[in-house]
Structure 1
Amino acid sequence: MSRIATAKPGKRRGALLLNPGGPALEGLDMPGQMAPTLPASVLDRYDLIGFDPRGVGHSAPISCHLSDPNLADLFPYPAADGSITANVAQARKTARQCASSVGDDLRFFNTPDTARDLDRVRQALGEKKISYWGQSYGTYLGAVYRALFPGSTDRMILEGNVDPNLVWQQQAATWNKGMADRFPDAARIAAAHNDSLGLGADIPTVTKNYLALADRLDRTPAPLPGTSMSLNGLTLRQVTYSLLLHNETLPLLTRLWKAAADLADGKLSDQDKAVLGQVSTANPPEPGVPADNQTTMFLALTCGDAAWSHDMNKYAADTAADRKAWPLTDGMPKNIWPCAFWPAPNEAPVKVTSQGPRDVLILQNRRDNATPWETGLGLRRTLGSRASFVGVDNGGHYVYHAGSTCADAATVAFLADGKLPARDLHCTAKPLS
């Protein structure tokens, strides 16, 4: 746990726990990251609390001892011809590796038990109630905590939201729509700079060229000069997904597309090399944390919270259908994951309902490729009158401090004074440049 004790005597309301989601992102540094974005009216009211959830980071981290620790490489894109045979074999191998490495304890790394840990955090802090701000997966963790400990929850902000009724196989499938909604934001920037990028003068053309490039790299990976590595379609899609999460990285993404196209054509410039180097820079290993820790815990949570289908034929059929219906995601979201071979969940998913006081603010972007608009609406419907919803005409995974003064004002008013909007808000954001 970590704490920045910003609350002022006479103004202090309590502790504000922060979780960055992931699943399985470390949260110890989150108070320091959030504090500069919050006004005095909020900081005077709360001590900011960060924590690494069980099994994550510095909280007794677990490891499957995977040979490839990269989380993105778990995402099961099919072969260039659409086959999922290799995905099935890899999913089975990964599940067996985790079961062997972690053992029976694997089933205790789940969201309900993590939520129970949060209440132990509350007790350790000596707080009767805690406020909470969760992003992405952290929205599901917060909703589960609120369901298990309704009397211990104060004000709750949920940002970039998971639908608790879709955990997790159906939630993964929503990435199809999320990518289709978000991709045009980047394509629009590329089209506006067609003179220098040469990717197309309009969104349809940029999209067509991107899909052709991904398919080309699937079939013929392009060697990266001076290294033993090659750029393939899988990596292009992974990096595209990641850079779509933030508006400020969209210009970099469009330059990456140009660099990838030039690499495939064998005409890599010095500028292209710089872009590829910027994108491919890996985080250094963290002392005391296994290299595959986030990947391991991502699997433990997404596979251990709820059962997944074991129907291999349906995975193949759904993947083939989605490759046609949603070409940007190439069938990956409905393809087979290691979860198909995972041990049975330790308990049934916690039921999230509309019962309880009105104490939740939901923040959701309309074009979020990680947790799409529809899943935010799903959480809104589930919480009913307990929550107020702030929807923003913006792209990316994050709402607060991301370009909407309307959303920021609603967030601050709720944390500082407990004022929820009387009705759902629909906010604008500064336009993309």
Structure 2
Amino acid sequence: MRTYGKSAAFVALSATVAATALTGVVTVPAHAGTASAPTLSWRPCATAGGPAAQECAELPVPLDYRDPDGPQLSLAVTRVRSDRPAARRGTLLVIAGGPGSSGVQRVAEKGERLARETEGRYDIVSLDPRGVGGSTKASCGLSPEDRELVNLRAWPGADGSITENVTRSRRIAEACARNGGAVLRSLTTVNEARDIDRFRQALGEEKLSAWGISYGTYVGAVYAQKYPQHTDRWVLDSNDDPDPSRVGQGWLANMAVGVADRFPDFARWASDPAREAEGLRLAKRPQDVQPLVLDLAARLDREPRESTTPGVPLTGNQLRLALQLALFNGDHDFAGLAGLVQAARSTSVKPVLPAALSGPVPDADAAVSMGVICNDVRWQGTVSSFTRAVAADRVKHPLTAGMPVNVTPCAFWKDAPAEQPTRITDEGPSNVLMIQNLRDPATPYSGALKLRAAFGDRARLVTVDHGGHGVYLGNGNACGDRTVTTFLNTGTRPQKDAYCAN
């Protein structure tokens, strides 16, 4: 459920927290247990374009909750306090996606809009999870090549072979086992839920409201399952299958369905006569766009094109990944994708790669994205079963060429999960509002329906007839935005599952 191309917001760290980033953990005195909530020392941390009143602090959390008085990690936390104290009714937690996205950055991006929508009813807060942004980092010590996004996502060879993927996945898993240490092993969804509850205590709140996005919906669901008594108004935006036997492995496999659901939106756009004047019309009929893209990717498999990024050619798998990235956001990314396709077809123009494909992912980002999904559950499969799955999926979902079901480092992860994943059930307060695009390429609608079923009467689902990943305050759908805002402001949800037209 990861959102690619993200950038981390690094808050200014105190000397103590700077030392934490170097050593990984801080050793606390034996008496510093969990009997009393930690104290947060807030300071201004506004950034350009973000809320002027944004503040930041550091939250100590146990490296291992079985040893609450032992070594502590430091998490970067943030808040924007209500500017209408008389209207304030509580605290609204923003749970960023990923694994690997920054809550501090998310508040910088969305905090002002969220404060306007909720009319001062909440202090808006968030945190950088373990391993992210200004929080204590983990490292796998991977080579730049192994941190290229096209390699972290295990695209099979042109002939469907996964031999190179197996070799790379083993190498990455071994590096993470060798270099990651206790911090990497602590990166789990359930620990993020525990860290959120530690944050709640530090804020002095009995309950939290929340807006979880993408992977943040799973974190939010796990929190609501473990701490139902501490949930108020709970919004989960862009959801996926919570199956505890598969978790991240299932999310990755579901992306093949999501891309297939979303691609027709691009095909209609790219065949529209309006694209002719822009030089971006790829075909005269929507049904001709997919064969064109697949044929181009196959040609690039055989003969990669030199790009404007030195040493990084445009390959077939780079094109497939660029397609996946462009489908994530609103239709505004379609022009860039069509331009890349046109440049790759030309003999006189060098393709310009999307920024996310032009260099390696930072090592800490690679570590956290793998750490969480590999630590949460033991991945199922053998080399032979992955080979068979890739062969079948390449036929069923040619746009993703078998990548979503391919082998990953999680298949060779050295440490068994420390605990079983949380099973989401219908036991708990009926205070969850789910919202979902019909054509989400990352967390497909079919997966969201499974979370909806797991929640039972605890939840209502708002289906939005829209494409892309992320709904609330993201795609301009007035009906969807209004439904979520009404719930946050008044507590009123639709009486039953609802639908919003595009």
After TM superposition, the score normalised by the length of structure 2 is 0.80
Q: CA deviation at 1:252?
A: 2.0
User: Mind listing any 5+ residue stretches in structure 1 that lack a counterpart?
Assistant: none
Residue 298 of structure 1 is aligned with which of 345, 354, 369? 369
Letter in 2 for 1:181: D
Match of 2:154 in 1: 76
Match of 1:141 in 2: 219
Does 2:252 align with 1:172?
Answer: yes
CA distance in 2, matches of 1:54, 1:15: 21
Letter in 2 for 1:337: T
Match of 1:38 in 2: 114
Deviations 1:367-414 (A, max 9, x none): 000000011111111111111110011000011121211111100100
Matches within 5 A, 1:103-118: 103-118=181-196
Match of 1:367 in 2: 439
Does 2:271 align with 1:188?
Answer: no
Q: 3-state SS of the aligned residue for 1:388?
A: strand
Matches within 5 A, 1:28-427: 28-38=104-114, 40=116, 42-68=118-144, 69-165=147-243, 166-193=246-273, 195=276, 196-197=279-280, 199-224=282-307, 227-247=310-330, 248-262=332-346, 266-268=347-349, 276=352, 279-280=354-355, 291-342=362-413, 343-401=415-473, 402-427=475-500
Q: CA deviation at 1:113?
A: 0.9
Letter in 2 for 1:80: A
CA contact (8 A) 1:25 1:56 kept: yes
Letter in 2 for 1:407: G
Q: CA deviation at 1:43?
A: 3.8
Match of 2:94 in 1: 18
Q: CA deviation at 1:62?
A: 0.9
Higher relative contact order (CA 8 A, sep 6+): 1
User: Mind listing any 5+ residue stretches in structure 2 that lack a counterpart?
Assistant: 1-76
CA contact (8 A) 1:186 1:251 kept: no
- The two structures, once aligned, show a CA RMSD in angstroms of 1.9
Q: 3-state SS of the aligned residue for 2:379?
A: coil
Q: CA deviation at 1:291?
A: 2.0
CA distance in 1, matches of 2:359, 2:261: 33
Letter in 2 for 1:308: W
CA contact (8 A) 2:210 2:235 kept: yes
Aligned-residue sequence identity (percent) comes to: 41
CA distance in 1, matches of 2:425, 2:493: 19
Q: 3-state SS of the aligned residue for 2:385?
A: helix
Letter in 1 for 2:82: T
CA distance in 1, matches of 2:98, 2:309: 33
CA distance in 2, matches of 1:81, 1:260: 21
After TM superposition, the score normalised by the length of structure 1 is 0.92
CA distance in 1, matches of 2:286, 2:294: 12
Deviations 1:46-96 (A, max 9, x none): 111121001212110111111133445311110011110000000000000
Which one has the bigger helix percentage?
1
Structure 1 residues 379, 183: closer, same or farther in 2, change over 3 A?
same
Q: 3-state SS of the aligned residue for 2:398?
A: coil
CA contact (8 A) 2:272 2:281 kept: no
CA distance in 1, matches of 2:437, 2:314: 31
Q: 3-state SS of the aligned residue for 2:407?
A: coil
CA distance in 2, matches of 1:62, 1:70: 18
Match of 2:66 in 1: none
Q: 3-state SS of the aligned residue for 2:180?
A: helix
Q: CA deviation at 1:309?
A: 1.6
Letter in 1 for 2:470: Y
CA distance in 2, matches of 1:72, 1:81: 17
